[in-house]
Structure 1
Amino acid sequence: MSRINRARRIALLSPLAFALAFGAYAQESPTGSTMGSVQATADAAPSTPAYLAANAKMHADMAVPLTGDADVDFVRSMIPHHEGAVEMAKIVSEYGDDPEVRKLAQEIIAAQEAEIAWMVEWLEKNGQP
């Protein structure tokens, strides 16, 4: 096979290989999430089921009805996204060992809670429930 034909074949097959690999990864899980279908096992760390539950809740809550207003849709979607970040930070605060990660988690909680409050206020100010 010539180098040109080989390069052409690779160029044609690479997107296909990516699609197949990503498709296998992105199979829908029972929670409705398209994240990998990771399940907590009996020997999993206590943080694992907590992360799985927080992730599933965040993704379900982010499925807000879209209004067609990009600003409103963004803010409504970001509130549960930020709430998910707060929940994950609380999980690492409870189960994590690394002081730097725990400090980062506390900073994330403070920042995300302030942003959530701002977004809720913005929605109210703009007549959005």
Structure 2
Amino acid sequence: MNVFVKTSLAIVGATALLSLAPLVVSAQEMTYPEKCKTEGMDMSKMGMSSGGDMPMGEMTDYQKASMDGMKSMHMNMMQGMMKKDADVSFICGMIAHHMGAISMSEVELKYGDNKEAKEMAQMVIDAQKKEIVDMTKWLDKEAK
């Protein structure tokens, strides 16, 4: 492959990556949309234990990071599913679900060793962030 073709491909690839720049945020930096939150709902009383039967002190760093992401996802999903409008409830539940998938994938990228698993985790992150953007746009337009 000649230098011109390689350079052209590199430019096309870089341009594609730059077009995704607004999507490059971690799950911790993503905020659950206000329109999905249910007023007056105290999520701390929903019975979410921090680690099932295993004390947090006995967990690996990987397990702790996974559990933190799952707790956040479940609390947001429960809150979103309480919306009176079925469509809004679905979208809010899916946004929380996707945020959980991103969090799980970020944990894999940080702690995982398998190249193929890490590639799949990155694919999940890329796809789910785009879908969250699309669902949030729908929510901003349709939710009252």
Do the structures match in fold with TM over 0.5? yes
Alpha-carbon spacing, 1:41–1:60, altered in 2? closer, same or farther (3 Å): closer
Count of residues in correspondence between the two structures: 99
Question: Where does the alignment leave 5 or more consecutive residues of structure 2 unmatched?
Answer: 1-44
For the residue of structure 2 that corresponds to 1:62, the secondary structure is helix
- Percent identity for Structure 1 against Structure 2: 34
1:110 aligns with 2:108: no
d(CA) in 1 for partners of 2:56, 2:85: 42
Amino acid at match of 1:120: T
Name the residue aligned to 1:45: 60
Give how far 1:78 is off: 1.0
Task: Spell out structure 1 runs of 4+ moving beyond 3 A.
Answer: 40-44
Query: Of 75, 83, 100, which aligns to 2:99?
Result: 83
Alpha-carbon spacing, 1:41–1:122, altered in 2? closer, same or farther (3 Å): closer
Higher-Rg member (1/2):
1
Name the residue aligned to 1:13: none
For the residue of structure 1 that corresponds to 2:78, the secondary structure is coil
Contact kept in structure 2, 1:32 and 1:60, CA below 8 Å: no
Contact kept in structure 2, 1:40 and 1:49, CA below 8 Å: no
Question: Where does the alignment leave 5 or more consecutive residues of structure 1 unmatched?
Answer: 1-29
Indicate the RMSD between aligned Cα atoms, in angstroms: 2.4
Give how far 1:42 is off: 3.8
Give how far 1:45 is off: 2.4
Alpha-carbon spacing, 1:31–1:51, altered in 2? closer, same or farther (3 Å): farther
Name the residue aligned to 1:70: 86
For the residue of structure 2 that corresponds to 1:64, the secondary structure is helix
TM-score scaled by length of structure 2? 0.60
Give how far 1:80 is off: 1.1
